[in-house]
Amino acid sequence: MPDKKYTLLEISEKIKTPLATIRDWEKKGLITSSRVNGNTRMFNLNQALNVKRKLSGKSIGIEYKVHKSKPTNFSAIELFSGAGGLALGLSNAGLEAKMLVEIDADSVKTLRKNRPKWDVIEGDIREVDFKKHRKKIDIVIGGFPCQPFSYAGNGKGFGDTRGTLFFEFARCVKEVMPKIAIAENVRGLIKHDGGKTLNTILHMLEKLGYRVACKLLRSQFLDVGQKRERLIVLAIRNDLDYPFIFPRPKDYIFTLKDVLKDCPKSDGAAYPKRKYYIMSKVPEGGYWRDLPIKLQKEYMQGSFYLGGGKTGTARRLSWNSPSLTLVCSPAQGQTERCHPKETRPLTVRESARIQSFPDNWKFEGNLSSQYKQIGNAVPVNMAYFIGKCIIAMLQGTYNNKTMIKEEHVQNQLEFGVKK
């Protein structure tokens, strides 16, 4: 049974921690809350206790690891595979990809180097024919780049999304008719084009003969030392009565200190001289506002006067928190990810660790290509837990401790996006 929930006041008393601290943990994404009776926020006692222990440097009795289970005979096609974060996580869960499609040459090299036996199709998905796999594959999965559609649920056909990469995902589903199709994407898809893009996606999958549900997953609650959100659109073929199963968030987190423990040395970017000097003045967990005022003005220039938090600018990560979301470059203006102690961007291997890639997963291409492949990936452990849920649906098994069964599909659209 899921743990009992408590109000903010009750939690504060039970774990002897000020209300403001608990609110701060929630704001920083270290704990979650759910709302009942209109607006009362409810918290999980174990989760709050675990965060308290973790932040005071105590053990919570769970060691960070890259998860791996036994293989199954289920088969998958993975589209837009990148450097294989999703593919590796699914494989670790027991779902081996029968075919992967990727256009970027370095990403393809990465996939082939690490998994020489995978059938990686290098090229534009628009040119790939999936018909020979019809009804022979259990899962089609992929994260397509998000583009606006002209279609917005007005009754026209699937062809209205033609020219977009979602159309190619949907075409693959139409040609293969897998038991389950999963489209993964960034949180931004929820509000993209006022919600029309997501509505169109859900509607299209329904028209292809699927029941659909979607959910936002947060990687810091899925054994990843990073705050990263992915929207999962789950489609189950109409002739199958599987329940919708999603990973249950864990009641603990891993911090940067956990996931970077004994991280092997590797290549990494460096700051130019002046930036090095400025970044050296930012304390652990701090950002540009923590600089002396003269340096704030020098670094921010015109935007110093523009207001707004810009909390990602000149940002130094904190050992005692999951990393902020990694992006495609470790030293971008508004998404700086400086090492917590040393004055430098994260190395390639540190970035890979934060995405829960194992140390033996090698990345091909030059330094910026490697950072990009890593920054684009679905965290491997997050993909693992998604994979375990897919297997549970296919096998008709269900583990209440690690999974959530969603019975009421409409309620999945919990971000105000209605069909």
Give the interface size with ligand SAM as a residue count (CB under 6 A): 20
Q: What's the rounded Cα separation, in Å, for the pair 373 and 384?
A: 18
> Among residues 337, 300, 363, which one has the least CA distance to residue 111?
363
Closest residue to ligand SAM: CB criterion: 82
- Residue 106 interacting with ligand SAM (CB under 6 A): no
Q: Are 8 and 20 in contact (CB under 8 A)?
A: no
Q: How far does CA 131 lie from the centroid of its chain? A: 30
> In the complex, what is the shortest distance from the CB of residue 89 to ligand SAM, in angstroms, rounded to a whole number?
8
- Residue 364 interacting with ligand SAM (CB under 6 A): no
Q: Are 90 and 76 in contact (CB under 8 A)?
A: yes
Instruction: Please tell me whether residue 244 adopts helix, strand or coil conformation.
Output: strand
Q: Is 389 a catalytic residue?
A: no
- Which of the ranges 54-62, 239-247, 308-316, 371-379 carries the binding residues for ligand SAM, by CB under 6 A? 371-379
Among 104, 223, 336, 350, interactor with ligand SAM by CB under 6 A: 104
Among 47, 84, 201, 247, interactor with ligand SAM by CB under 6 A: 84
Tokens 């919600």 sit on residue: 195
Going from the C-alpha of 340 to that of each of 228, 280, 287, 321, 393, the distances in angstroms are 19, 11, 11, 10, 41
Tokens 């659209």 sit on residue: 413
Among 2, 145, 163, 283, interactor with ligand SAM by CB under 6 A: 145
Among 81, 199, 226, 313, interactor with ligand SAM by CB under 6 A: 81
Among 45, 49, 55, 103, interactor with ligand SAM by CB under 6 A: 103
Instruction: Please tell me whether residue 42 adopts helix, strand or coil conformation.
Output: strand
> In the complex, what is the shortest distance from the CB of residue 378 to ligand SAM, in angstroms, rounded to a whole number?
4
String of contacts with ligand SAM for each residue 146-185, x by CB under 6 A: -------------------x--------------------
Q: What's the rounded Cα separation, in Å, for the pair 21 and 18?
A: 5
Q: How far does CA 375 lie from the centroid of its chain? A: 10
Instruction: Please tell me whether residue 332 adopts helix, strand or coil conformation.
Output: strand
Residue 194 neighbours by CB under 8 Å, 6+ apart: none
Q: Considering the complex, state which of residue 94 and residue 375 has its C-beta at the smaller distance from ligand SAM.
A: 375
- Residue 83 interacting with ligand SAM (CB under 6 A): yes
Q: Contact residues for ligand SAM (CB under 6 A)?
A: 80-86, 101-104, 107, 124-125, 143, 145, 165, 376-378
Q: What are the residue numbers of the active site?
A: 146
